[in-house]
Amino acid sequence: MDRLPALSADELIERTREGFEQMIREVAAAVNAASEGRVISGSEEQVRDRLGEFRQRVYQTALQMRVDAAEAAFSPGGRPDSPSPAEQGQR
């Protein structure tokens, strides 16, 4: 089986940059909204959830990029030893 083409880290960064920046804003807002003396207990769960959601989106994006690269590299003509479309129609 052929290997999947590698994905570009730079392209992954570009595709996820906006989501990263939004996640950081949400983390900062959660920490800032926590009451004094309860910063950890008042923000930890929200921060964990935002980071988890972002991690999942980045991973899904990375996987999809590899699949897309593999599909782009796929030859619609099939294997070299398979009959051509014209030969297939002669049956």
> Quick check: is 14 in a domain?
yes
In a domain, 37, yes or no: yes
pLDDT of residue 1: 47
Read off the pLDDT of residues 26-42 as tens digits, 9 standing for 90 and up. Answer: 999 999 999 999 999 99
Tally of domains within the chain: 1
Average pLDDT for runs of 10 along the chain of length 91: 82 97 97 96 97 98 92 68 55 48
pLDDT at residue 18, rounded to an integer: 97
The model carries a pTM of 0.72
pLDDT of residue 73: 79
In-domain check, residue 69: yes
- The answer to whether position 55 is within a domain reads yes
Q: What angle do CA 5, 9, 13 make, to 5 degrees?
A: 135
Tell me, yes or no, whether 3 lies in a domain. Answer: no
Q: Does residue 22 fall inside a structural domain?
A: yes
19 within some domain: yes
CA distances from 37 to 8, 32, 33 (A): 44, 12, 12
